[in-house]
Amino acid sequence: MTRSRVPGLLAVPAALAVGFLAVPLIGLLGRTPWGSIGAELTSPRVLEALRLSLVCSLGAVAVSVGLGVPLALLLARVDFPGRNLVRALTTLPMVLPPVVGGVALLLAFGRRGLAGQWLDRAFGITLPFTTTGAILAEAFVAMPFLVITVEAGLRAMDRRFEDAAATLGAGRWTTLRRVTLPLIAPSLGAGIALCWARALGEFGATITFAGNLPGVTQTMPLAVYLALETNLEAAIALSLILLFISLAVLIALRDRWFPSA
């Protein structure tokens, strides 16, 4: 064993940190009604919320990949004026309280919102209270996770491969498709996983912008919140599903986050 140079007394706050982060999870597991959990998990309300959560979070990932990967490419490869401003603006939803994001979405895409009133008048499309609205709310908070992960991957990648492909006559699209994207596949995968986990857990922007209706906009976090007020067992069962999904994402990403392990 090598001698550690870390001051010994740091063990105390470190142990407190472990306890602080782990005890709530133990509390959740301790209160789980294991006997009736099967019934809770297969109740129509839970299944509906689960289905809707999968639809919305995968939809949000699709939106994020479709728009976020091109954005990450531009941010990483093109030196345009105001790039730092654009980067700051597009990562803002990561630190913005989600409820504030929901209010902002209402003012932008609501029936009376900046873009929303135009959508309503021109196409008769209104987004609040729809599943599409829930997908947009989730994409709003989750896309930045994908963008910064992919951008970091693009910056870390060895650009000589791209140069070599270009020298050998590959066009820009071919280089992107055959060289760049395969090389950043691990970052893209990690970005998708993070983005999906964030979308799955989204609460504030969704309930503010999309409202709460079982089967339409009531995703799992909303169902947990409302179940907590009347049916603690159902709330714990739903929480457990979210806990295990989060764990699975963490395990899938462990090589990236804990490279030595």
Partner 1 sequence: MLRSRIRLAAAVAAVALVLAGCGGDDEPSGGSSAAPGELKVFAAASLTAAFTELGQRFTAANGGTKVTFNFAGSQALATQIQQAAPADVFASADTANMGKVKDLVGTPQPFASNLLAIVVEKGNPKGVRTLGDLAWSDLKVVLAAEEVPAGKYANQVLDQAGVRVQPVSQEDNVKAVVTKVSLGEADAGLVYVTDVAAGGDKVEGVDIPEDQNVLATYPIATVKASQAPDQAQAFMDLVLSDEGQQVLERHGFLPPPTT
* Chain positions contacting partner 1, by CB under 8 A: 7-9, 11-13, 16, 106, 110-112, 126, 128-129, 207, 210-214, 216-217, 225-226, 228-230, 232
H runs (alpha helix) in 157-219: 160-167, 172-175, 181-183, 185-200, 204-209
Closer CB to partner 1, 133 or 144, in the complex: 133
Closer CB to partner 1, 96 or 216, in the complex: 216
Distance (Å, whole) CA 230 – CA 248: 29
Q: How many CB atoms lie within 10 A of CB 115?
A: 12
Separation of CA 155 from chain center = 22
b/e map of 193-212 (b: 16 or more CB within 10 Å)? bbbbbbbbbbbbbbbbbbbb
**Minimum gap (Å) between residue 227 Cβ and partner 1:** 9
**Minimum gap (Å) between residue 146 Cβ and partner 1:** 28
Closer CB to partner 1, 86 or 107, in the complex: 107
**Minimum gap (Å) between residue 214 Cβ and partner 1:** 8
**Minimum gap (Å) between residue 129 Cβ and partner 1:** 4
**Minimum gap (Å) between residue 223 Cβ and partner 1:** 11
Closest CA to 155 of 195, 184, 191, 186: 184
Closer CB to partner 1, 15 or 164, in the complex: 15
**Minimum gap (Å) between residue 110 Cβ and partner 1:** 5
**Minimum gap (Å) between residue 206 Cβ and partner 1:** 11
Q: Which two tokens stand for residue 38?
A: 């099967």
Closer CB to partner 1, 167 or 230, in the complex: 230
3-state secondary structure of 137: helix
Closer CB to partner 1, 8 or 35, in the complex: 8
Closer CB to partner 1, 41 or 213, in the complex: 213
Distance (Å, whole) CA 128 – CA 134: 8
H runs (alpha helix) in 7-115: 11-30, 37-41, 44-77, 83-95, 98-109
With residues binned 3-state (H G I as helix, E B as strand, rest as coil), the percentages for the chain, rounded to 5, are: 75, 0, 25
